[in-house]
Chain A
Amino acid sequence: MSLLAEMNQKALNLGLPISVHLDITYRCNERCVHCYLDHDDHGEMTTAEIINVLEQLADAGVFFLSLSGGEVLMRRDFFEIVERARQLLFNVKVKTNGVMIHEKEAVRLRQLGVEQVQISVYSHRPEVHDAITKLPGSLKRTIRAIRFLKSQGLKVTLANVLMAGNFSDQPGVIALARELGVAYTLDPTITPKMDGDRSILALRIPGTDLKQIFHNQELVGNVEEFCAPPPPPGEDIMDGFPCSAGHTACYISPYGDVFPCVQFPLPSGNVRRQKFLDIWRHSPQLNEVRSIHTRDLPTCSTCAHVGTCTRCPGLAYMEGSMRGPSTADCEKSFQRTGIPSANMLRQTEAAYTGPLIQIQALANSSLDHAFSR
Chain B
Amino acid sequence: MAEKYIARSKAIAARLVGGEMMVMSAADSTFFTLNEVASTIWQAADGRTPLAEIVAGKVCQEFDVDPEQAQRGADRFVDELSQHGILLVSEHPMIEKDSSLSPERP
Q: Contact at A3–B32, with CB atoms within 8 Å? A: yes
Contact of A90 among B13, B18, B31, B32 (CB under 8 A): B13
Q: Contact at B26–A114, with CB atoms within 8 Å? A: yes
Q: Contact at A89–B13, with CB atoms within 8 Å? A: yes
Segment of A5-13, A167-175, A222-230, A298-306 engaged in the interface with chain B: A5-13
CB distance from B88 to the nearest CB of A (A): 14
CB distance from B102 to the nearest CB of A (A): 15
Residues on B with beta carbons closer than 8 Å to the beta carbon of A63: 13, 15, 17, 22, 24
Q: Contact at B22–A7, with CB atoms within 8 Å? A: yes
Question: Which residue of A14, A113, A114 has the most chain B CB atoms within 10 A of its CB atom?
Answer: A113
Contact of B17 among A18, A92, A153 (CB under 8 A): A18
Residues on B with beta carbons closer than 8 Å to the beta carbon of A188: none
Please tell me if A112 contacts chain B, counting CB pairs below 8 Å. Answer: yes
Q: Which residue of B lies closest to A154 (CB)?
A: B26
Contact of B31 among A3, A16, A86, A111 (CB under 8 A): A3
A63 to B21, CA, bound (A): 11
Q: Contact at B99–A16, with CB atoms within 8 Å? A: no
Q: Which residue of B lies closest to A87 (CB)?
A: B10
Contact of B11 among A18, A90, A113 (CB under 8 A): A113
Scan B1-40; emit 1 where CB is below 8 A from any A CB, else 0.
Answer: 0000000001111111110101010110101110000000
Please tell me if A61 contacts chain B, counting CB pairs below 8 Å. Answer: yes
Q: Contact at B15–A62, with CB atoms within 8 Å? A: yes
A90 to B14, CA, bound (A): 7
Scan A334-358; emit 1 where CB is below 8 A from any B CB, else 0.
Answer: 0000000000000000000000000
Q: Contact at A115–B99, with CB atoms within 8 Å? A: no
Contact of B12 among A113, A114, A155 (CB under 8 A): A113
CB distance from B21 to the nearest CB of A (A): 10
A331 to B20, CA, bound (A): 41
Q: Contact at A91–B24, with CB atoms within 8 Å? A: yes
Question: How many B residues touch the partner, as a band?
Answer: 10 to 19
Scan B58-80; emit 1 where CB is below 8 A from any A CB, else 0.
Answer: 00000000000000000000000
Count residues of chain A with CB under 8 A from any CB of chain B: 27
CB distance from B8 to the nearest CB of A (A): 9
With A3-B31, A6-B33 as known contacts, state yes or no: A115 contacts B17, CB within 8 Å. no
Please tell me if A4 contacts chain B, counting CB pairs below 8 Å. Answer: yes
**B-facing residues in A1-59 (Cβ within 8 Å):** 3-4, 6-7, 10-11, 13-14, 16, 18, 58
Q: Which residue of B lies closest to A16 (CB)?
A: B17
Q: Which residue of A lies closest to B33 (CB)?
A: A3
Residues on A with beta carbons closer than 8 Å to the beta carbon of B15: 58, 61-63, 89-90
Residues on A with beta carbons closer than 8 Å to the beta carbon of B11: 113
Q: Contact at B24–A14, with CB atoms within 8 Å? A: no
Q: Contact at B17–A61, with CB atoms within 8 Å? A: yes
A112 to B24, CA, bound (A): 14
24 contacts between A and B (CB under 8 A): A4-B31, A6-B33, A10-B17, A10-B18, A14-B18, A16-B18, A58-B15, A61-B15, A63-B13, A63-B17, A86-B10, A89-B13, A89-B15, A90-B13, A90-B15, A111-B99, A112-B99, A113-B11, A113-B26, A113-B99, A115-B13, A115-B24, A115-B26, A116-B29
Going nearest first, the 10 A-B pairs with the smallest beta carbon separation are A91-B13, A113-B26, A63-B15, A113-B11, A89-B14, A115-B26, A14-B18, A91-B24, A111-B99, A3-B31
